[in-house]
Amino acid sequence: MASSARSADSSDVFTPRSTSPSPSVASGRSSHRSSRTSVSNKRVSISSRRLTDFNPMSSVDVLAIEEAMKLASLDQHRGYAQDHYTEVKQDHDTEYLKESEASAYQVLREPLWNKGLSFTPEQRVAKNLTGLLPHAMESLETQCARAMKMIHSRQTGIDKYLYLSSVKAQNVDLFYRLLMDNIRDLMPLVYTPTIGDVCLQYSTLYTRPEALYISIKQRKSIRTMLRNWPCPNPEICVVTDGSRILGLGDLGINGVGISIGKLALYTAAAGIHPAKTLPIVLDTGTNNETNLKDPFYLGLRQKRVSYAEQQAFMDEFMEAVKEVYPNMVVQFEDFDSEKAFNYLDRYRNNYRAFNDDIQGTGAVVLAGYINAVNLSSVPLEEQRLVFMGAGSAGVGVAKQLVEYYTRRGLTEAEARDKFFLVDTKGLVTMDRGDKLAEHKKYFARVDNAGHQFRTLEEVIEYVKPSALVGLAATFGIFTESVVRALKASVDAGGLGRRPILFPLSNPLTKAECTFEQAVQWTDGSVVFASGSPFNSFTLKVGGDAGDITYHPNQGNNVYVFPGLGLGAILSKATRVTDEMVYTSAAALAGSLNAEEVHQGLIYPKIDRVRDASIIVAREVMKAARRDGVSELPESLWIEWEEWGDVALTNYIKQRVYNPTSFSEAKGRL
Ligand SMILES: NC(=O)C1=CN([C@@H]2O[C@H](COP(=O)(O)OP(=O)(O)OC[C@H]3O[C@@H](n4cnc5c(N)ncnc54)[C@H](O)[C@@H]3O)[C@@H](O)[C@H]2O)C=CC1
Ligand SMILES: CC(=O)C(=O)O
Ligand SMILES: [Mg+2]
């Protein structure tokens, strides 16, 4: 962080690590790092030659691509031959370059220090910046207005993303002010849906490192690589192996875009300091043929290793994390479903870890469901739910809802009975004749009397559901006949009842139906939430009634993971417990303001995601305390018990990052 790095106790927050902070060092982060990587100098120069020689955006001619392929294959051999399963030893000093010791050039080049045109005249003199900047001094707001103008001038989502990314590479405070103040417009760029396109093309769009890239071939050096991260003591990491990125399948190392995007939202939506976030991709190969044939693909050019081999690698990774960054919370993201469930079970009791797709999604959908049931006029006990998709998200959500029902007085069997999960083969039943994946067995029906239901229409006809949830990553699978059948089954229960329809798959190209379709096919009665954002929809009614505008909800785990992570960090939780996850859902459900309730929404508006995250974090902290996993001093808890939520909320607010013009950005964890 540029500004808190300047405060007296900033050594823990400040970023670049260096052995030689002399003025002769050319620039900020990259120069410090290269000064310490003499062991692998040769490898570094080979890969940088590849990156600079070929501008991926312009090299469309065949010759350039052939040449690139030749060089890429050379690079692969040379690079990996050197560190194949051997440890690359590097010395790690614990000194970090201080901003006060940095040259003016370094201050401007370090994105965590650079304040752009917001440097005051006094700061410009003190830091020898006079003449290096235009004379004008501007507030962050003015710089944001300029940046928004530039974003609007770009035509495609990717181009807008690239512009934003370049802002982040130059001025972190500006990037986050921009994102926080324009979250409705910009979140769809740094997150779903645009991040899906970015991940698909990550290796081609690549311009600079933004994450830790840990390949299984470097497994002996995991600790070294973790220590190489230039910001000291990161507190939250999002780690993926790229095996199931959004609904786009196995993207290999290209999936790192999702770790980067989610961590940008940890900062924008919950105020975790950017210098405390660490995106990680574990490269264990890819089964994506397009990637394997792509000359620019940056990951290991091999098929994925076996589950057993990856398991051993994962064990080593988790142990290394605990040793190098013992306080860091680990968010597992977008692992394919078998690994997602296995790793959650394996690590949840011994590490500060949670799975976003299982638990974060479970919590966010539960929150939306609690509010949707109220709007639907179908009593909680009468609800019956069909889930299209029985993967990590589908099963994770259904289990979270079962917990809700049991807390409401149902037995576990009664609660489970409300859920009908459907996958590519139809309704999941015990006697379907195929080998059920372990995670599906809990919900496999045994009351189907030998009958199998292959299509969604058949399932709806059989179940007569009140709610339909889509987590199948299949575009358009909620057809008109499916949605009308859902509405008919709800209408049959009585007048004024409303169907709950949640097409939650990401990105938009995988949404089970659109918002407009949902409104049209239910004659406007739908209670709707989608994974990626849709625009409001105006139905032209004509006549005296006038037009009616319908507002969608975004049911995305972005409403939960930032607050859950922040709560886990601030409470110094040794584990992320089920109670903490459940509480995050209950807190989110109760976080709507009067206007949002009046508008019939089930989630807070996305512009209020930060308010919601603070509430979620506060309640998660209290849940950690109830579960006995908070390592905060007892005296603090006694104080908060005495003074109540206001005091705890203030404690959180004082610790969140909030870049402002001309002054130190507030907040550090
Ligand atoms: N809105 C949100 O916050 C979240 C949304 N998701 C989305 O949920 C989707 C699924 O994620 P995971 O469960 O992790 O994936 P997964 O791959 O583990 O599961 C997908 C499931 O859908 C089923 N399926 C696929 N095609 C189908 C079809 N044509 N008909 C019926 N079933 C079909 C598969 O059999 C499998 O059970 C993805 O698009 C992901 O982006 C995931 C997490 C959070
Ligand atoms: C939102 C999210 O985590 C997913 O689609 O996988
Ligand atoms: Mg995910």
DSSP line for 418-473:
TEEEEETTEE-BTTSSS---GGGGGG-BS-STT----SHHHHHHHH--SEEEE-S-
Residues of the chain with pLDDT under 70: 1-96, 662-669
Cα angle 475, 280, 291; round to 5:
50
What per-residue confidence (pLDDT) applies to 638? 96
Ligand 1 mean position, distance from CA 403 (Å): 21
- Three-state secondary structure readout of 130-161: CCCCCCCCCCHHHHHHHHHHHHHHCCCHHHHH
CA of 500 to the centre of ligand 1 (A): 18
Least Cα distance to 392 among 443, 430, 337 occurs for 337
* Beta carbons of 354 and 325 less than 8 angstroms apart: no
Predicted confidence at residue 666, as pLDDT, reads 39
Q: SS3 of 357, please?
A: helix
240 C-alpha to ligand 3 centroid (Å): 9
Ligand nearest to the CA of 421: 1
What confidence score (pLDDT) does residue 326 get? Answer: 97
Instruction: Identify the residues whose C-beta falls under 6 Å from ligand 1.
Output: 244, 246-247, 337, 357, 361, 364, 388-394, 422-424, 471-474, 477, 504-506, 510, 531, 555-557
pLDDT at 540: 81
CA angle 141, 144, 147 (to 5 degrees): 160
Answer yes or no: are the C-beta atoms of 3 and 15 closer than 8 Å.
no
Q: Do strands 467-470 and 385-388 pair parallel, antiparallel, or not at all (unpaired)?
A: parallel
Among 265, 440, 471, residue to substitute to test ligand 1 (most atoms within 8 Å of Cβ): 471
User: 3-state class of 411 per DSSP?
Assistant: coil
CA dist., res. 234 & res. 156, Å (int): 33
Three-class secondary structure assignment of 244-263: CCCCCCCCHHHHHHHHHHHH
Ligand 2, atom 3: closest residue by C-alpha:
357
Q: Position 461: which residue type?
A: E
Contacts of 370 (CB under 8 A, 6+ apart): 404, 585, 586, 589
By alpha-carbon position, which residue is closest to atom 6 of ligand 2? 246
Instruction: Quote the CA–CA distance of 188 and 190 in Å, as a whole number.
Output: 6
Q: What distances in angstroms separate CA 94 from CA 15, 227, 249, 440, 497, one per listed residue? A: 12, 10, 40, 48, 63
Q: What is residue 447's predicted lDDT score, i.e. its pLDDT?
A: 97
CA distance 663 to 41: 40
Distance CA 143, CA 663 (A): 15
* Pairwise CA distance, residues 362 & 219, whole Å: 32
pLDDT of residue 94: 54
Ligand nearest to the CA of 434: 1
Is 357 a known ligand-binding residue?
Answer: yes
* Count of CB atoms situated within 10 Å of the CB of 224: 18
Per the structure block, which two tokens stand in for 415? Answer: 């609660």
Choosing from 187, 557, 564, 609 the residue with most ligand 2 atoms within 8 A of its CB, the one to mutate for a pocket test is 557
Ligand whose nearest atom lies closest to the CA of 391: 1
If one counts every other C-beta atom within 10 angstroms of the C-beta of residue 540, the result is 7
Please give the helix or strand (H or E) that residue 538 lies within, else none.
strand 537-539
Integer angstrom CA distances of residue 8 from 4, 12, 103, 243, 654: 9, 10, 19, 43, 17
DSSP codes, 180-236: HHTHHHHHHHHSTTHHHHHHHTHHHH--S--SEEEEGGGGGGHHHHHHH-SSSS--E
Q: Is 53 annotated as a binding residue?
A: no
Q: What pLDDT is attached to residue 71?
A: 65
560 by DSSP, 3-state: which? coil
**What is the Å distance from ligand 1's center to 393 Cα?**
6
The residue type of 12 is: D
How far apart are the CA of 69 and the centre of ligand 2, in A? 33
φ/ψ (deg, to 5) at 77: -65, -50
Q: Is the CB of residue 469 less than 8 Å from the CB of residue 502?
A: yes
Mutate to test the pocket of ligand 1, among 423, 442, 474, 556 (most ligand atoms within 8 A of CB): 423
Distance CA 394, CA 489 (A): 22
Q: How far apart are CA 497 and CA 526, in angstroms?
A: 9
- At 17 the pLDDT is 55
Q: Whose CA is nearest to atom 4 of ligand 2?
A: 246
The rounded distance, in Å, linking the Cα atoms of 16 and 107 is 11
DSSP classification of residue 9: T
Task: Tell me: is residue 241 an annotated ligand-binding position.
Answer: no
Please count the other Cβ atoms lying within 10 Å of the Cβ belonging to residue 146. Answer: 14
Q: Are strands 537-539 and 553-554 parallel, antiparallel or unpaired?
A: unpaired
Q: Which residues pair with 538 in a beta bridge?
A: 549
Give the closest ligand to the alpha carbon of residue 336. 1
Q: 433 — alpha (psi -120 to 50), left (phi > 0) or beta?
A: left
Where does ligand 2 bind, in terms of residues with CB under 6 Å?
Answer: 246, 334, 356-357, 506, 531, 556-557
Task: Determine how β-strand 329-332 pairs with β-strand 353-355.
Answer: parallel
pLDDT tens, 318-374? 999 999 999 999 999 999 999 999 999 999 999 999 999 999 999 999 999 999 999
Provide the annotated active-site residues. Answer: 191, 262
- Across 261-372, where does the E strand assignment appear? 277-283, 329-332, 353-355
pTM of the model: 0.89
Cβ neighbors of 350 (< 8 A, separation 6 or more) are 575
CB 320 within 8 A of CB 326: no
Q: What is the dihedral of CA 642, 648, 654, 657, to 10 degrees?
A: 170
